[in-house]
Amino acid sequence: MSNKIVIITGANSGLGFETAKYFVSKEDTVIMAVRTVSKGESAKKDLLQLFPKGQVQVMKLDLASLSSVRAFAEEFSKKYERADLLINNAGVMVPPYTKTEDGFELQFGSNHLGHFALTGLLLPLLEKGEHSRVVTLSSIAHRSGVIQFDNLDGSKGYKAMKFYSQSKLANLLFAKELDDRLKENGYKTISVAAHPGVSSTNLFKIGKESTPWYIKPLMKLIAQPAEQGALSTIMAATDGTLEGGEYIGPDGRGNRTGKPAIEVPKAAVYHKETMKKLWSVSEELTSVDFSFKK
């Protein structure tokens, strides 16, 4: 397939930038969906220095704002008749307790609900794409995650890592439930989940500060570079043998580092009642109804 139209959230740095680099190198049209346009434009310059003929567009997208998500989808639909790949990459990790513009806990709101809404709004254009798919990034942190339906906004207590794990579990469950529903409704678009293992990215900042000095040596010991972590995303987005519903991650010990491969999560992760309830709650909170009408 040539000249894919690829949307990557959080494409200006880390895993998103490395993923964008791959698709720009393949002469695909890459839409860098970023919260800060100036950072996106700077990253675009870097990409075009590497690939002068690259097709790159920077578009504003703040996943912590449903109005921004809707504005992005509307603007995109005016410029493009289809989308071939949506890569739900952007994420925020262990911030102090913060709420989004719409009153959601920041991590659940940005990492899950923002991407849920974006996917629903873009689905008609994805279905028009060629070999279209949605790739949603989860994390090995999902293993300790629990969906706290009675405390999604953190008002009954908040622990940053606990809520990060919850958001990443939500990403994984959404990716699988989306694929199930796409198949049930006869869609050709597929949904695949991926995770980068432990990769050196700017997720490891604390608040607005850069990665603390005492974490940097540790990261060198246990983490792989972002360009290798991005290989799981790239496999999930491009491997023609995938049928949808797979989970791609590094094949090394604990799935922290290594080459990308199909990973089989514990069967108990895909708890159907939880997945259905999460879907229902997400539609209610975002006011985005997938409806699956072609």
pLDDT confidence band for 203 (50 / 70 / 90): very low
d(CA 57, CA 41): 9
Beta strands per DSSP E along the chain? 5-9, 29-34, 55-60, 85-88, 133-137, 190-194, 199-200, 224-225, 247-250, 260-262
- Average pLDDT of the residues in 19-25: 96
Cα–Cα nearest to 227, from 199, 204, 262, 192? 199
pLDDT exceeds 70 at position 38: yes
The mean-pLDDT minimum among 115-119, 178-182, 225-229 falls in: 225-229
Average pLDDT score, the chain: 90
Q: What is the pLDDT of residue 258?
A: 80
Positions marked active-site? 164
Q: Which of 113-122, 166-175, 228-237, 278-287 has the lowest average pLDDT?
A: 228-237
Identify the weakest region by mean pLDDT among 152-161, 233-242, 254-263.
254-263
Residue 283 has pLDDT above 60, yes or no: yes
Residue % of the chain over a pLDDT of 70: 86
Provide the whole-model pTM: 0.91
Would you say 247 and 171 are in contact if contact means Cβ atoms under 8 Å apart? no
Average pLDDT over residues 3-14: 96
Average confidence (pLDDT) over 238-264: 86
Phi-psi region of 9 (alpha: psi -120 to 50; beta: other; left: phi over 0): beta
pLDDT value of position 288: 97
Distances (CA, A) of 1 to 4, 21, 234, 238, 266: 7, 18, 15, 10, 34
Sheet containing strand 190-194, strands side by side: 55-60, 29-34, 5-9, 85-88, 133-137, 190-194, 247-250, 260-262
Cα(first)–Cα(last) distance of the chain, in Å?
A: 23
Range name among 59-73, 102-116, 157-171, 188-202 with the lowest pLDDT average: 188-202
Per-residue pLDDT tens digits for 171-195: 999 999 999 999 999 999 999 999 9
Lowest mean pLDDT among 175-179, 204-208, 223-227, 283-287: 204-208
* Largest interatomic CA distance in the chain: 52
**More confident of the two residues 204 and 276:** 276
Which structure tokens are listed for 271?
Answer: 């708890």
Q: What is the mean pLDDT of residues 275-285?
A: 98
Distances, alpha carbon 215 to alpha carbons 114, 168, 195, 218, 256, in Å: 29, 22, 21, 5, 17
Give which of 87, 20, 13 is closest to 54, Cα–Cα. 20
Decide if pLDDT at 50 tops 50.
Answer: yes
The angle, 0 to 180 degrees and rounded to 10, between the axes of the packed helices 115-127 and 272-286 is 90
Homologous superfamily of domain range 5-286: NAD(P)-binding Rossmann-like Domain (3.40.50.720)
3-state secondary structure of 206: coil
Q: Is pLDDT larger for residue 224 or for residue 26?
A: 26
List the chain domain ranges. Answer: 5-286
